[in-house]
Amino acid sequence: MLACHPAKKLSFNRSISDGDLVIVYEKHDSMKAVTVCEGSVLQNRFGVFKHSDWIGKQFGSKVFSSKGGFVYLLAPTPELWTLVLNHRTQILYIADISFVITYLEVVPGCVVLESGTGSGSLTTSLARAVAPSGHVNTFDFHEQRAESARADFERTGLSSLVTVKVRDIQGEGFPDDFTGMADSVFLDLPQPWLTIPSAAKVLRHDGTLCSFSPCIEQVQRTCETLRTRFTDIRTFEVLLRTYEVREEKMQSLSGDDNGSNGSLPSKRRQCSDGSYILSGSPSISSVMARPCGEARGHTGFLTFARVKCVS
């Protein structure tokens, strides 16, 4: 995430400085996170890039290597960070993350509790959503994972918005210190139904909860438990289909079944769909949109609920 401007909380520094984290974009499926250090170089198949050439440039700049290759220097937004972070666990991707933030009604100033920090993919987006005055408290039972996540949040400039704690929420529940303080709760646990009573306790009046589960059997048991303390229970599965848009050159299709188009005779070639391409016909450029060959399928089920009002 971009470092906050000291004088304007909602604006960001747009130029790259020594020590900044940048996302080096080589192509759409090849990016890496690099910390700028004057005197260092980045070597890849496009050549050698000096970090000193990056300092002072704007995020989004196109920079060239000594042999003419180029990369783009992008700001470490949560969307890009999700694509380059180290996978310590299975992570949530943008389709699920955006859905979670919308349905949990996370806005600036919110207090969010998350159980199951993992690789910190969702946590990073939650931190941006609650900034500048909100806070995300995230818990993981694995101490080494929590320490790695804490280091990542420091690297991405989110340490003031995120607190990482080691705790087995599934076995112990959320700390009593958070009773009635949370606007939203997110659970990514093997047995989330065990944590439902504790989640209801920490949520404020009309607070929202989301539970992520890969299996429908987990969803069924979670929903049964939610009915005692929650209302407006809904489960979603988010499926994303990506399209490639590119410009391609095609030979024009013309002529009747005999290959006659009112001009000089030319050889014809039959396509797999039964149409003909005349070898002597000119090529035309066309923008084509087609589904990507590799589509990400099922990731998990998202169950949302709102805590019942107690009169």
Annotated binding site: 119-122, 140, 168, 188
DSSP state of 12: B
**Pick from 127, 144, 138, 41: nearest CA to 86:** 144
DSSP state of 252: P
The position carrying tokens 């149409």 is 275
Rounded to whole angstroms, how far apart are CA atoms 3 and 216? 40
Residue set of the binding site for S-adenosyl-L-methionine: 119-122, 140, 168, 188
DSSP state of 142: -
Which amino acid would we find at residue 3? Answer: A
- Locate 142 and state its tokens: 């694995």
The position carrying tokens 């013309």 is 254
Q: 201 by DSSP, 3-state: which?
A: helix
Q: Are 170 and 191 in contact (CB under 8 A)?
A: yes
